Amino acid sequence: MVLEKLGSSLQQTIKKILRLSSVDEAAVKELVRDLQRALLQADVNVNLVLELSQRVQSRALKEEPPPGVSRKEHVVKVVYDELARLLGEKPAKLPVEPGKPNVIMLVGIQGSGKTTTAAKIAYFMAKRGFKAALVCADTYRPGALAQLKQLAAQARVPLYGEEGASDPVAIALRGVEKFRREGYEAIIVDTAGRHKEEKGLIEEMRQIAEAVKPDRVMLVVDGTIGQQAGVQAKAFHEATPLGAIAVAKLDGSAKGGGALSAVAAVGAPIIFIGTGEKVEDLELFDPVRFVGRLLGMGDLKGLLEKVREAEITLPKEKAKAFLTGKMTLEDLLEQMENLRKLGPLGKIFKLIPGLSFQLPEEAIQLTEEKFKVWKAIIQSMTPEERVNPKIMSSSRIKRVARGSGTSEKEVRELLKHFEAFRKMAKSLKRRSLPFKRLERAMGGLGYG
């Protein structure tokens, strides 16, 4: 996993907050201290850490959570927001437009990961249907061409290189022109970068760039150097403000968080992140998704659902009615309100041990609109009809549809789903699943 260490300490921090029954000022302050510790350990710049903690603290304490969102939930969202902000917010765009030759020239100091990243980008583009090719303009390092040859074979893309040549500018130009002529859309140029400091590197970059006129110059920085990656990115960004950045070696590096945040702070767009040695270990950089993953949850939706799951409670009698099939449409309405806050029904039922049954897809994916429609229908029914929906004849259905401003089809659909719920509940009993265990399972869901 990317940034394993940072991820696990951030997850601990979030879990700690989620375990609290309520979030007060002391809890927020402790959260902020935990965040600071986690970020500083990942080599994130002290000033960035201070800025982030101040924002988290003041937002968590001062902002009023929106209706339906608890303070705890809100605090988690604030952390999520601010971490994404630290890494740049906007998702990267593909650096290649279809149907035209896009030349991407990679630069960066030796060992940063250029050659590997060049092959990864070619593979990435080829996999997305672009005609991709590689050009080797590293004439300095012995074995550079052989290395790229091997990687190009793994990526299954053509490579242009010249054995024993000495003029990188001329080779780059010949390679790029050949692939341009042949209609390639993603032409990735690998360069040498034997310079130890940025000045010399940028000078060589200028010469090759002048010759091949790349659409993008992409700096490859080594994520394991932490904050120092920001220094390289800054020099580069000042020289070519349109340039893009790839951060390599983010797998298993404790300092990757520092590298990413430092590069993001420079304002240079991070397009790719490298997460391993193989050609497929490359991702388009999307800060929001990335932070979601760091926090150990798929995305913000998942995160909020989780918090809600932990918070919802349902009275015991209702849970019992639900489990024994002794429920009315009125109960259904009420439970729908509760269940809705838990997220997709299917997910909840999966949590109950020993249980698998089929609910109609629409009942599982209860959307906001559907919920409103069903609510209107149930409210248009008489108390008798709600308790005993079996009496719903076509004339009753017609009346309810008209009264609720819905269609007869929708009324029938609701009745069908209700029946499915009841059957499901009954099947629980038939299978004589230990009721206590079920209750416990429901209790664990906050049905206590």
Ligand X SMILES: Nc1nc2c(ncn2[C@@H]2O[C@H](COP(=O)(O)OP(=O)(O)O)[C@@H](O)[C@H]2O)c(=O)[nH]1
Residues found near ligand X in the complex (CB under 6 A): 108, 110-116, 193, 248-249, 251, 274-277, 281
Contact partner, 249, from ligand X, Mg ion, none, Cβ < 5-8 Å per class: ligand X
Q: What angle do CA 235, 241, 246 make, to 5 degrees?
A: 70
Q: Which does 277 bind (CB under 5 to 8 A by kind): ligand X, Mg ion, none?
A: ligand X
**Residue closer to ligand X (CB basis): 132 or 136:** 136
Considering the complex, what minimum distance in angstroms separates the CB of residue 195 from ligand X?
A: 12
Instruction: For residues 331 and 346, give the distance between their C-alpha atoms in angstroms, rounded to a whole number.
Output: 19
Binding string, 60-99, against Mg ion, x = CB under 5 A?
Answer: ----------------------------------------
- Nearest approach, Cβ of residue 298 and ligand X (Å): 23
Nearest to 286 by CA among 254, 255, 262, 264: 264
With respect to ligand X, which residue has the nearer C-beta, 248 or 270? 248
Cβ atoms of 115 and 149 within 8 Å: the answer is no
Of the candidates 104, 164, 111, which has an alpha carbon nearest to the alpha carbon of residue 135? 104
Nearer to Mg ion, 132 or 378 (CB): 132
User: Of these partners, ligand X, Mg ion, none, which one is at the site of residue 275 (CB under 5 to 8 Å by kind)?
Assistant: ligand X
* Residue whose CB is less far from ligand X, 198 or 281: 281
Shortest separation between residue 138's beta carbon and ligand X, angstroms:
7
270-274 and 282-284 as β-strands: parallel, antiparallel, unpaired?
antiparallel
Contacts of residues 342-346 at CB distance under 8 Å and 24 or more positions apart, as own/partner, are 342/305, 342/308, 342/309, 342/312, 342/445, 343/305, 343/308, 343/309
With tokens 């659909």, the residue in question is: 413
Looking at the DSSP bridge assignments, the partners of residue 270 are: 245
Chosen from ligand X, Mg ion, none, partner binding at 253 (C-beta under 5 to 8 Å by type): none
Pair 401, 407: CB distance under 8 Å:
yes
Closest distance to ligand X from the beta carbon of 104 (Å): 15
Dist. CA 249–CA 255, nearest whole Å: 10
Q: How far is the CB of 203 from Mg ion (least distance, A)?
A: 18
Shortest Å distance, C-beta 143 to ligand X: 10
CB of 277 to ligand X, least distance (A): 4
Identify what 95 binds: ligand X, Mg ion, none; CB under 5 to 8 Å per kind: none
Q: Which residues contact 317 (CB under 8 A, 6 or more apart)?
A: none
User: Which stretch in 40-48, 114-122, 397-405, 406-414 sits in contact with Mg ion by CB under 5 A?
Assistant: 114-122
Q: Does 191 participate in binding Mg ion (rule CB under 5 A)?
A: no
* Tokens standing for residue 332: 């259904």
Does residue 115 belong to the site contacting Mg ion (CB under 5 A)? yes
- Name which of 114 and 417 has its Cβ closer to Mg ion: 114
Q: Least separation, in Å, of the C-beta of 48 and ligand X?
A: 23
CB of 294 to ligand X, least distance (A): 17
Taking the least distance from each CB to Mg ion, the nearer of 64 and 163 is: 163
The count of residues interacting with Mg ion (CB under 5 A) is 2
Q: How far is the CB of 136 from Mg ion (least distance, A)?
A: 9
d(CA 301, CA 227): 31
Cβ proximity to ligand X: between 114 and 255 the closer is: 114
Residue 251 binds what, of ligand X, Mg ion, none (CB under 5 to 8 Å, by partner type)?
ligand X
Helix (H) / strand (E) containing 105: strand 102-107
Residue 424, Cα to own-chain centre: how many angstroms? 34
The H or E element spanning position 13 is helix 4-19
Token pair 């269609």 is at which residue? 407
Tell me, what DSSP letter sits at residue 390?
Answer: G
Q: CB of 95 within 8 A of CB of 269? A: no
- Cβ proximity to Mg ion: between 140 and 349 the closer is 140
Contacts of 134 (CB under 8 A, 6+ apart): 118, 119, 122, 148, 151, 152, 155, 157, 158, 159, 160, 188, 189, 190
Closest residue to ligand X: CB criterion: 274
**Part of the chain binding Mg ion (CB under 5 A), chosen from 79-87, 108-116, 224-232, 314-322:** 108-116
Is the CB of 116 or the CB of 328 nearer to ligand X? 116
- Residue closer to Mg ion (CB basis): 118 or 392: 118
The stretch among 109-117, 160-168, 248-256, 435-443 that binds Mg ion (CB under 5 A) is 109-117
Cβ-based neighbour number of residue 235 at 10 Å: 16
Instruction: Please give the residue ranges that form the binding site for Mg ion (CB under 5 A).
Output: 114-115
